[in-house]
Amino acid sequence: MAGLIRNRVFLQTFSSRRGSKFSVRHLKMALLSSLRTQGLCGALYYTGTRSISSGSLHIKDSLNFWSGGRVSLKDVETKCEPVYEPATGRVLCQLQACGAADVDAAVRSASAAFTVWSKLAGMERARVMLEAARLIERREEIAEIEVVNNGKSITEARLDVDSARLCIEYFAGQATTLSGQHVQLPGGSFAYTRREPLGVCVGIGAWNYPFQIAAWKSAPAIACGNSMVFKPSPVTPVTAVLLAEIYSQAGAPEGLFNVVQGGQETGSLLCHHPSVAKISFTGSVPTGKKIMEMASRGVKPVTLELGGKSPLIIFEDTDLENAVRGALMANFLSQGQVCSNGTRVFVQSSILPQFLKEVARRTKAIQIGDPLLDETRMGALVSKPHLDKVLGYVKQAKKEVQGARVLCGGEPFVPADPKLKDGYYMTPCVLDGCTDDMTCVREEIFGPVMSVLSFDTEDEVLRRANDSALGLAAGVFTKDVKRAHRVIENLQAGSCFINNYNITPVEVPFGGYKASGIGRENGQVTIEFYTQLKTVVVEMGDVDSLF
């Protein structure tokens, strides 16, 4: 999925901006009142000091939100599921999953909001969205809570919150540009088109970018006049409700953005609900197929941002230092838990030894530990089962008939801090001697595991790079401009990079080919996926009837 490192220009722009008094005041109202109810009585807007430390946060308030506020489920039979803090392995909170009555209440709330919101002018919607973006500018509290629930480093979490803000700002601008087409017909008659909202949209998020994905799905939807019911992953349910409160404080009508918690059953209820007009999902290919099947029963459009096993091709004429940095960014962001990661690293044989030496040295130097510390570059994986799964892939790679060679990493890691001893950590891994038929090369591992493969010719590497059922992303490192564009043209992937990787400006579309998904997120084209086109023919003369 999605989301990833931001464009340097935007980072520089953000660092130079100052939040207004209005932003600070509303952030307190939108975020900190809820933080206090969760046990953070001393938390204030960011003042340069850490307000949360790993193992200190206990969340008690409800994480469901509709009709303008948090909702505690009344059904005493509702089963609660524990939510864990990856850094420490302790229980962070208990999750109440929404049943049929709860989902229906949230959808009805969204329907009521749609009636009001869809009638507003684009400029009126944009004002609310820009205010929401301003409230997010004071990002530290959101980023810290994201870290506690997800395990990624605070440095990355800040960039994710930036991306969420920039996305809302971008689509606020798009809200003012929605327009149709005028077509002149014979005899003075004419036709025109109207781009109209769909209605209640459902967003289903993934656990690797919880807050950012909630923004990436809601911003284009509400910019077009829709409302949304959003279901976060049950593994990372905490920060989506903060976005709901931000929209509310920004002036959105009650029910514009709602949050329902739960797993597969809750997601199924949303997909089958007769009042839902569209579904946007980020997650695995198998789940995406199920959602597409459920949506087809109601002939509902879907946006699917699914998995990847993306190739990163490094030619011998590249700037080797730059290529190594790119390979690290393509594999180890968010502990390797990024759908677009370039985990199949094809290196031209003439530079393979130098590449392996440098990439292993740099990988060994990655600082693992408390994700809330600024110096940490790799935090904890999202859950114990997922950690075990990723470690299992490394063990299997070594057992293959002509097994991969582990240059570094691939082992459980225990930080020195005693409070982190039960966290879900591992050392980032580089595998050499990989072949195209190995499981670690064919399947999406979704962890910090880089598989390095050797190649000799351009035609050869293109054939091998495209030999996958997935096609989310791809990258090329070379100084030959003609080769770069030629190779990119022939790669079967939707999001491609030349001499960089995992850069996702919100102004450009993100999405994949083949089994990696349908539709796009971000960029102007996304408007088409959250609207429907109405054609109107206007006759200025008499009806020319055959009867």
Q: Known catalytic residues?
A: 305
Q: How far apart are CA 390 and CA 398, in angstroms?
A: 13
Residue given tokens 């600070």 in the structure block: 24
74 close to 81: Cβ distance less than 8 angstroms: no
424 close to 89: Cβ distance less than 8 angstroms: yes
Q: How far apart are CA 506 and CA 9, in angstroms?
A: 12
How many other β-carbons are positioned within 10 Å of the β-carbon of residue 228?
28
352: its two tokens? 């393979």
Q: Which of 126, 203, 216, 125 is nearest to 163 (CA)?
A: 216
* Residues 304, 308, 309: CA angle, nearest 5 degrees: 165
Q: What burial letters (b/e) apply to 278-298, b meaning 16+ CB within 10 Å? A: bbbbbbebebbebbbebbeee
Given phi > 0 = left and psi -120 to 50 = alpha, else beta, which region is 287? alpha
Question: Which DSSP helix (H) or strand (E) runs through 404?
Answer: none
DSSP string, 63-75: -EEETTEEE----
* Residues 499, 500, 505: CA angle, nearest 5 degrees: 130
Q: How far apart are CA 186 and CA 207, in angstroms?
A: 55
Residue given tokens 């054609």 in the structure block: 535
Q: How far apart are CA 249 and CA 266, in angstroms?
A: 27
